[in-house]
Amino acid sequence: MKRILLTALLVFGSTQAFADIMFDASVFYDSTTGPDGSDYTQKEGHLFIAMPVAVKEQLYLGPNFVVTSDQSSGGGTGTTEIGPRINYYFNQDKTYLLMLAWNPYVKVDNTSPEDSAWSYLAGVGYEMKINSNFYIGASIVYHALNQTNATTKVETKTSTTRPMINFSFRFK
């Protein structure tokens, strides 16, 4: 219990941090039709719930949730990923950002429960202020997924770099 309290004090050490919260959602969607008429659709969504951890409120920390789906006419797969993420804003207006996330919990559809997987992402972006609480913008995100089959011990690595549209709700 003492470790949890100490960690909470270190992470959310600023008394002002408890008054601020940010909900940041990022989405990607792409649909194409191949020469044979088959459809292929890719979707990815991120939800980041964060609080500032520094006095200048340029560094935000919180849980990150990622859902991906790759579908084709022959079937598809999807993932659910959860882990910590940080956003660093380069300016006081909080418009230019760097994001880093590590997702130690990853569930990949159509895999054995014994299989293990983890992922990480890194990105840069810009979010324009629409009003006092709402920002909209774009980012480029590199997303890497590592899977290990429990039976064969074969490791599979996949990565993508995608443009994403960001929606950010920030409250003080």
For residue 19, the model assigns a pLDDT of 62
Reduced to 3 states (helix: H, G, I; strand: E, B; else coil), residue 94 is coil
Predicted local confidence at residue 68, as pLDDT: 92
Entry field: residues in the chain: 172
Expressed in angstroms, the distance from the first to the final Cα of the chain is 29
> Which of these, 3, 7, 10, 100, lies nearest to 54 by C-alpha position?
10
pLDDT value of position 155: 85
Q: How high is the pLDDT of residue 78?
A: 87
DSSP state of 151: T
Take residue 153 and report the two structure tokens written for it.
């011990």
Helix (H, G, I), strand (E, B) or coil at 30: strand
What pTM does this model have? 0.81
Element (H, E) at 11: helix 2-11
CA 102 vs CA 26, 41, 48, 74, 112: distances in Å? 16, 25, 12, 31, 22
Backbone angles phi, psi at 153, to 5 degrees: 60, 20
The domains located in the chain, with CATH, are 2-171 (2.40.160.20)
Q: What is the pLDDT of residue 15?
A: 44
Q: CA 153: distance to chain centroid?
A: 27
DSSP E strands in 56-154: the ranges are: 59-72, 75-89, 96-103, 105-108, 116-129, 134-148
Residue in 131, 127, 141 with CA at minimum distance from that of residue 66: 141
Residues of the chain where predicted confidence (pLDDT) is lower than 50: 1-18
Which pLDDT value is given to residue 33?
84
pLDDT on residue 5: 42
Q: What is the CA radius of gyration of the chain?
A: 18
